[in-house]
Chains A and B, each alone.
Chain A
């Protein structure tokens, strides 16, 4: 299995007006995405998941660290990236209402990347657009509709078709169904999974919806205040959440069946507010809300402890486990 995307010690800080005060949106993260993965990046507001996705896309330039795509270092802003790279990595944004140009018809929206990268025009271009429309199961009479004439779920399908229109290998999905109703969400997700199989894509899926993640991703990374606190195969992380924040997240999800209730961790319930990324607590940034925090947690930031195959936790609770292996090139600090 080949690694398609590797992120090393990535940092993205935003300057505020004041000197020396930064919004530490992403504060040193590492992860690898393998070909064919659905890699989920999960967190709440301030976690840095969207910033990570945007930095991978090249919308931001990394403050530090590297992004390596198919062996090539692409840690630059997208204007400086080679043009072929732009069609390789695409994104579907969260809100279909603002991610489609309100003054353009569907044909123009989907046609733009096709025309740009494949240099086709006229009848050929129209045929290609219709092909992508059918890939997302939209009829060809959507060609001349404006975004305001079509519903939210369908707009998102158009956004997906646009992302696929340049023939990418890697697609970043930024909460693609958060703005949609549950009955439509199912359809969109199924379409995404089908297309992944049909076209051999890899997804980086950003979301805060853990129930959804449980069912679509094979690997998951939980983010809190710019750091990845837990990372591993989805099934393992859900069945045995290691980090207290993961447990807090899981226990907060409103569920609908008794079976799910029993799966939810009971020990850690939600308390406290998420601190601002401008003022990250020292030591382990979660210590302000952690029921297990002790003195060490307030002073020293934990490193990533490997608790099983391809599974890491950033928490002092695991520092004295016997099955501890510190991987040299995965640690920080």
Chain B
């Protein structure tokens, strides 16, 4: 039973990884908020930490991960908290995750029915009428012939169907929040379109909060209401979907959009010079500064806070210093 409007809230999340060469300070204070029924996209390139963020919520971080700071609330329950250096973490209830590779997410030696049963039993705590429940979940995911599917093995299904089965499994857990980690990246473009439309529809129908992680701005635009742009472990910009594309503010967002080849045939863009920073010694100021054409001295020394430009458009860049500054931790 939840009373507030906000389904998932991440506050100032810092996650580090311990490796041979030292400590990789990947996530540097992530703030994220999803309301019930809202679909938000977490967009960023490889290595920016978006999967780490999801894993932190699901508490499935790698063994060498250290949660240095942060708080996560899911469904009015605090599932992660760091107080005085101690990390208190528990498995979230009502949160389901869909992974990138459906072939790896399904156990090849069990039938779909058996795997669904496991989810229904342990995540949804339903012990009777499991078969009906399973068929219902499969139908929700628009899968044809659910009865036959229950006794099929993953290898008998196509990639798109496997991913839909994974979505059905996520739904069978009766979640109020769905985390999707690049769910369509491995699928063909025509199938991707269908699966994304399905996810969007389900989120609308069931009033599910959706966090869609992707590296494709186009995918985020078509599916999400709000977009968070992530770079090197920091959120650099967040706004409503339309706003981000019509009025990108952060230099990284602009560079990213400019790098995309367009269907209208304008040729190939420059890309963004440089590489993502070394997390061992990340830049002390804005992490994008070394690659930014607009960077000034301040950018290398201080971390930019979020500035509010317009109704719900936040950007972490000193270029917008004149705009109204939000104290870090506060969201619109």
Contacts and interface: CB of A to CB of B under 8 A. Distances in A.
B264 A270 contact: no
B330 interface: no
Nearest to B184: A254
Contacts of B222: 254
Given A181-B46, A181-B215, A235-B265, A249 B256 contact: no
Interface stretch (A25-33, A107-115, A121-129, A211-219): A211-219
A185 B271 contact: yes
A274 B161 CA distance: 11
A309 interface: no
Given A183-B255, A256-B218, A263-B263, A273 B160 contact: yes
B148 interface: no
B255 A214 contact: no
Contacts of A259: 262, 264
A257 interface: yes
B193 interface: yes
Contacts of B159: 45
A252 B188 CA distance: 10
Contact of A274 (B158, B217, B256, B260): B158
Nearest to A153: B275
Assign chain A's interface to a size class: 35 or more
Interface in B192-235: 192-194, 196, 215-219, 221-222
A311 interface: no
B263 A186 contact: no
A253 B265 CA distance: 14
B45 A183 contact: yes
A208 interface: yes
A238 interface: yes
A44 B259 contact: no
Interface stretch (A80-88, A93-101, A167-175, A187-195): A187-195
B191 A182 contact: no
Interface in B262-288: 262-272, 275
Contact of B262 (A182, A215, A216): A215
A134 to B, nearest CB: 18
A281 interface: no
Interface string A211-255: 110111000000000000000000100100000000011111111
A253 B218 contact: yes
Contacts of B275: 151
Given A214-B261, A238-B263, A270-B194, A182 B215 contact: yes
A322 to B, nearest CB: 30
B189 interface: yes
A256 B265 contact: no
Contact of A260 (B160, B196, B263): B263
Q: Which of B161, B261, B272 has the most A CB atoms < 10 Å from its CB?
A: B261
Interface string A271-311: 10110100000000000000000000000000000000000
A90 B214 CA distance: 33
A251 B268 CA distance: 21
A116 interface: no
Contacts of A151: 275
A257 B161 CA distance: 30
B245 interface: yes
B193 A252 contact: yes
Contacts of A215: 261-262, 265-268
A221 to B, nearest CB: 17
A211 B189 contact: no
B190 interface: yes
Nearest to B157: A273
Nearest to B242: A258
B124 interface: no
B6 interface: no
A186 B45 contact: no
B295 interface: no
A138 to B, nearest CB: 13
A152 B45 CA distance: 12
Contacts of B82: none
B202 to A, nearest CB: 17
B61 to A, nearest CB: 23
A263 B271 contact: no
A259 B246 CA distance: 11
B257 interface: yes
Nearest to A261: B263
A152 B276 CA distance: 12
Given A45-B188, A254-B216, A214 B262 contact: yes
30 contacts: A182-B216, A182-B256, A182-B271, A183-B45, A183-B259, A183-B271, A183-B272, A186-B269, A211-B260, A211-B262, A214-B261, A215-B261, A215-B262, A215-B265, A215-B267, A215-B268, A216-B261, A252-B192, A254-B216, A254-B218, A254-B219, A254-B222, A256-B221, A256-B257, A256-B260, A259-B264, A264-B263, A270-B191, A273-B161, A274-B191
Given A151-B275, A274-B191, 8 more contacts: A183-B272, A189-B268, A210-B263, A214-B262, A252-B189, A253-B263, A256-B262, A274-B190
Interface of B: 45-46, 158-161, 188-194, 196, 215-219, 221-222, 245, 255-257, 259-272, 275
Q: Which 10 residue pairs spanning A and B have beta carbons closest together?
A: A254-B218, A186-B271, A44-B188, A252-B193, A181-B45, A270-B190, A183-B272, A260-B263, A187-B271, A186-B259
